[in-house]
Amino acid sequence: MKDIASDLGVSLMTVSKALRNHSDISEDTRNRVQKRAREVGYRPNWIARSLVTRRTYMVGLVIPDLMHSFFAEVAKGVARKLEPLGYQIVISNSEEQAENEERQIELLLARHVDGLIVAAAQTNGRGTLFEPFGRAGFLVFSSTGFFPASTRTMWASKATRSARSRPST
């Protein structure tokens, strides 16, 4: 960005705003900056951006089986809703193993995803795993009908392919 600013004789802030289509940058300046950015092959550094905004624009989706058509439809539906809002979906496959699921959840949380959707593979007796997510505002998706205490949950019926929200208990 510094090179673009120097080449065009504008400030770094002007370049930053022009690349984000900020409204207080003239169309002429915005076009010049964007043209120069294309010429030099500029790509935004999303990691640096997330440090400034404290948002990653990533949502984690943990599903038990990538090959199952139901979960493929879930992933497709999540992406269809979130991508127009600027979010990328990070899909993790737990292979229907509770240990894999827990590891994938921890990895996604360590990457500071803005949201986490878990299609729980094996929920019986594991309600405590999901309680912190409910308190943090995350959504736990359950295809089994199991609803951990104190979480906002979404239940989807494989038979009807419908989804209903369940409030906290």
Domains of the chain, CATH where assigned: 2-44 (1.10.260), 53-166 (3.40.50.2300)
Q: What are phi and psi of 84, to 5 degrees?
A: -65, -20
**pLDDT, position 162:** 39
What pLDDT sits at residue 31? 93
pTM metric for this prediction: 0.64
Secondary structure tally for the chain: helices H, strands E: 7, 6
pLDDT in tens, 9-39: 999 899 988 988 888 999 999 999 999 999 9
**Nearest one of 56, 143, 73 to 101, comparing CA atoms:** 143
pLDDT tens-digit map of 31-74: 999 999 999 999 888 787 788 778 888 888 888 888 888 888 88
At residue 163, the pLDDT reads 41
Identify the band that residue 118 occupies on the pLDDT scale cut at 50, 70 and 90: confident
Residue 156's pLDDT band (cuts 50, 70, 90):
very low
- Of the pLDDT bands very low, low, confident and very high (cuts 50, 70, 90), residue 128 is low
- pLDDT tens digits along 76-116: 988 999 899 888 899 998 888 888 888 888 888 888 888 88
Task: Work out the average pLDDT over 139-157.
Answer: 47
88-93, strands of its sheet edge to edge: 88-93, 58-63, 115-119, 139-142, 152-157, 162-166
pLDDT surpasses 50 at 126: yes
Q: Where are the alpha helices (DSSP H) in the chain?
A: 2-8, 12-19, 27-40, 46-53, 69-82, 98-110, 127-135
